[in-house]
Amino acid sequence: MSMAPIPATGGCLCGSIRYTVTETPAMSAVCHCRNCQQQSGSAYSVMIAVPLAALQFDAGQPRCYRDTGTSGQPVDRYFCGDCGSPLYSDVAVLPGMAFVKAGTLDDPAWVEPTQALWCDSALPSARLADDITRLPGNPPV
Ligand SMILES: [Zn+2]
Ligand SMILES: [Zn+2]
């Protein structure tokens, strides 16, 4: 993550929400939990973790869906109310961090996840780099 182009901008599919990430991410991970599969409509979500204060909204405000995570604790999932793009999650068991959906970055190509979370529910077709750390649940805190 040393090459992270910070500040990094991003936004939702329709463009009504725009944001800037102002700090280098503390980590990047893919999440294979069933809830991320359902929310994303895909095999897993790819996230970068930054302090909540390092995620600034420049246009629009996301809506929140309060989910219950696989851990049983709340996961506030923020998304665009117009186009539905998932933008970030605020996870109760990992407080103070925004888990930004990396696919919404204007340039997501630099993101290199180092951890794979909730691998017990990973789809067989979801193949990842051999050197990624595979965890059965959330990252240790
Ligand atoms: Zn939108
Ligand atoms: Zn997840």
Question: What are the C-alpha distances in Å from 128 to residues 4, 104, 115, 132?
Answer: 21, 20, 10, 7
Q: Tell me what pLDDT residue 70 has.
A: 78
pLDDT at 128 over 60: yes
Is the pLDDT at 2 greater than 80, yes or no? no
The rounded distance, in Å, linking the Cα atoms of 62 and 81 is: 7
Q: How far is the CA of 74 from the centre of ligand 2 (A)?
A: 12
Between the CA of 73 and the centroid of ligand 1 the distance, in Å, is 27
Q: Is 90 exceeded by the pLDDT of residue 69? A: no
Task: Examine the pLDDT at 76 and tell me if it is beyond 80.
Answer: yes
Q: Which pLDDT does position 130 carry in this prediction? A: 86
Q: Tell me: the pLDDT tens digits for 22-66?
A: 999 999 999 999 999 999 999 999 999 999 999 999 999 999 999
74 or 2: which leads in pLDDT: 74
Q: Is residue 45 packed enough to be buried (19+ CB in 10 Å), middle (13-18) or exposed (0-12)?
A: buried
Distance 33 CA to ligand 2 centre (A): 4
CA distance 77 to 89: 4
pLDDT tops 70 at residue 3: yes
* Assigned token pair, 128: 């990842």
- The tens digit of pLDDT for each residue in 77-126 reads 999 999 999 999 999 999 999 999 999 999 999 999 999 999 999 999 99
d(CA 49, CA 64): 18
- Range scoring the smallest mean pLDDT among 59-63, 69-73, 74-78: 69-73
For ligand 2, the distance from its centroid to the CA atom of residue 57, given in whole angstroms, is: 23
Domains observed in the chain:
8-134 (3.90.1590.10)
